[in-house]
């Protein structure tokens, strides 16, 4: 029986093998076909994407613009002040007119989302997280934008009409010719109007006039569809408030009307240094909330690693005050209040010395002060340009923020105390 059973079993297995062999072969064919289809599909997508990207430069070259595109030397647009990201664009647009920007954006809009082409407006490249970069996209060099010259208007109210690619340092010099000045600006003046208005524009005047975005009368915007739109508080207000501080996500600022005020002829410039954060923050709050206070109040934190105090003393008068010579701060964290009081030649009663409550109480505080003309004060602000360039080389960041009272301010107390 066993041989017979063995024979039957062997025969049955042979039949099963014969019966299921075609099915197994069919499965193998199906798997092979599926793999081939997947490979073909992926290759097709890669081909389409490659075709799309290679077609982008040629399609942009066909645009009839006054400026020009750069497709080869694009590495300059792959860096920003933050120095953390490096994204190479497919092209850089150097516009000569607003219509160049509008035509380019309209062309990209018509290409549709399948092109995956992004656009970034770049002023002086001072973004920190790559906002002025566009990976395989188009970067618009706003400093190339040409248009009507800066024009100061004084009929109903005072403002200056400027290009979105204009630098604040140029605006300041132009407005001073008329005895005027912007109400609010940033400490570093080699930034474009469109760049700072797309963020906020914070400085030591923000406590009094608000940031720069609070001192704009009207904007000219190129939308993502390529439309050129004028907007203000009364006209297209939704777009106006969205673009101001909108990080370039709602449109590109191509022109702005900036509010002005009478410029003082003289400035009392003061720097007060503290070793104690609580004293420093208490006095900053006191000065900001006071009725008759300074016109410019800003605090910052530094580490005195390189004899910074001695370098500062050369800029002030007297150059070697008693407090500064006795202030032991090498290698320590310093808290500094930078203050400015504007006045005119006729106001001779302006104080020539700085006396703070802390100094009277004998705390570790020193004060450096001098009297400058408005233009001299601007010259000192130029020092910021050198510091910013140095920061680029050593990959450091400088962040300016406005802290409200509450948890955020308490966080600063906890961090530095």
> Which range has the worst mean pLDDT, 87-101, 235-249, 309-323, 327-341?
309-323
Q: What are the tens digits of pLDDT across the range 158-174?
A: 999 999 999 999 998 89
Residue tagged active-site, from 70, 174, 187, 376: 187
326 versus 143: the higher-pLDDT residue is: 143
User: What contacts 141, CB < 8 A, 6 or more positions away?
Assistant: 77, 92, 93, 94, 95, 122
28 versus 61: the higher-pLDDT residue is: 61
Q: What percent helix, strand, coil does the chain show, rounded to 5?
A: 40, 20, 40
Given pLDDT bands bounded at 50, 70 and 90, which one contains residue 366?
low
Q: Tell whether the model's pLDDT for residue 16 goes beyond 70.
A: no
Q: Tell whether the model's pLDDT for residue 248 goes beyond 60.
A: yes
Instruction: Please state which architecture CATH assigns to domain 151-262.
Output: 2-Layer Sandwich (3.30)
At 271 the pLDDT is 81
- Reference 367, options 343, 339, 332, 333; nearest CA is 339
Across residues 81-93, what is the average pLDDT? 87
CATH code of the domain occupying 266-401: 3.40.462.10
Q: Using CA atoms in the order 183, 189, 195, 196, what is the torsion angle rounded to 10 degrees? A: -40
User: What contacts 370, CB < 8 A, 6 or more positions away?
Assistant: 268, 269, 315, 316, 317
The strand pair at 138-141 and 91-94 is best described as parallel
- The full set of domain ranges for the chain reads 68-144, 151-262, 266-401
Q: Tell whether the model's pLDDT for residue 364 goes beyond 60.
A: no
The verdict on whether 126 is a catalytic residue reads: yes
Burial class (CB in 10 A: 0-12, 13-18, 19+), 366: buried
What is the reported pTM?
0.72
Q: What is the secondary structure of 11-43 as a DSSP string?
A: HHHHHHHHHHHHHHHHHHHHHHHHHHHHHHHHH
* Distance between CA atoms of residues 352 and 348, nearest Å: 10
Residue tagged active-site, from 94, 124, 126, 190: 126
The verdict on whether 298 is a catalytic residue reads: yes
The verdict on whether 283 is a catalytic residue reads: no
Instruction: Compute the mean pLDDT over every residue in the chain, rounded to the nearest whole number.
Output: 75
Given pLDDT bands bounded at 50, 70 and 90, which one contains residue 290?
confident
* Distance between CA atoms of residues 76 and 230, nearest Å: 31
Maximum C-alpha span of the chain? 130
At 250 the pLDDT is 93
Q: Quick check: bond before 53 cis, omega within 30?
A: no
Across residues 380-399, what is the average pLDDT? 44
Burial class (CB in 10 A: 0-12, 13-18, 19+), 371: middle
Q: Tell whether the model's pLDDT for residue 100 goes beyond 90.
A: yes
* Distance between CA atoms of residues 157 and 100, nearest Å: 31
CATH fold of the domain at 68-144: 3.30.43
Given pLDDT bands bounded at 50, 70 and 90, which one contains residue 245?
very high
Q: Tell whether the model's pLDDT for residue 128 goes beyond 70.
A: yes
At 15 the pLDDT is 43
């Amino acid at each position: 029986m066993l041989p017979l059973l063995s024979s039957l079993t062997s025969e049955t297995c042979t039949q099963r093998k014969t019966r299921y062999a075609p099915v197994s072969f069919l499965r193998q064919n199906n798997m092979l076909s599926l793999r081939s289809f997947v490979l073909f599909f992926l290759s097709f997508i890669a081909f389409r994407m490659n075709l799309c990207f290679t077609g982008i430069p040629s399609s942009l070259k066909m645009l009839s613009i006054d400026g020009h595109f750069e497709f080869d030397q694009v590495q300059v647009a792959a860096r920003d002040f933050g120095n953390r990201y490096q994204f190479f664009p497919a092209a850089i647009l150097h516009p000569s007119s607003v219509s160049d920007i509008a035509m380019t954006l309209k062309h990209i809009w018509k290409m549709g989302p399948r092109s995956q082409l992004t656009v970034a407006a770049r002023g002086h490249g001072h973004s920190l997280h790559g906002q002025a970069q566009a990976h395989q996209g188009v970067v618009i060099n706003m400093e190339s934008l040409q248009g009507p010259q800066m024009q100061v208007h004084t009929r109903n109210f005072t403002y200056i009409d400027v290009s979105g690619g204009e630098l604040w340092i140029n605006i300041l010099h132009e407005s001073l010719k008329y005895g005027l000045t912007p109400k609010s600006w940033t400490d570093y003046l080699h930034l474009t109007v469109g760049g700072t208005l797309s963020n906020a524009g914070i400085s030591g005047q923000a406590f009094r006039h608000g940031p720069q975005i609070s001192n704009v009368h009207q904007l000219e915007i190129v939308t993502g569809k390529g439309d050129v739109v004028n907007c203000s508080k009364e006209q297209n207000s939704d777009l106006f408030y969205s673009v101001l501080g909108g990080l370039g996500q709602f449109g590109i600022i191509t022109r702005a009307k900036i509010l002005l005020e009478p410029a003082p002829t003289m400035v009392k410039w003061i720097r007060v240094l503290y070793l104690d954060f609580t004293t420093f923050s208490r006095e900053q709050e006191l000065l900001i909330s006071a009725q008759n206070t300074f016109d410019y109040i800003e605090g910052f934190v530094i580490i005195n690693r390189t004899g910074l105090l001695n370098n500062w003393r050369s800029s002030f008068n007297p150059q070697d005050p008693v407090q500064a010579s006795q202030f032991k701060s090498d290698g320590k964290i310093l808290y500094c209040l930078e203050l400015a009081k504007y006045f005119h030649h006729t106001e001779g009663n302006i104080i020539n010395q700085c006396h703070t409550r802390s100094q009277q109480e004998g705390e570790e505080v020193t004060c450096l002060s001098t009297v400058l003309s408005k233009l001299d004060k601007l010259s000192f602000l130029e020092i910021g340009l050198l510091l910013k360039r140095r920061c680029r080389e050593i990959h450091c960041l400088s962040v300016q923020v406005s802290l409200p009272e509450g948890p955020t301010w308490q966080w600063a107390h906890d961090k530095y105390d």
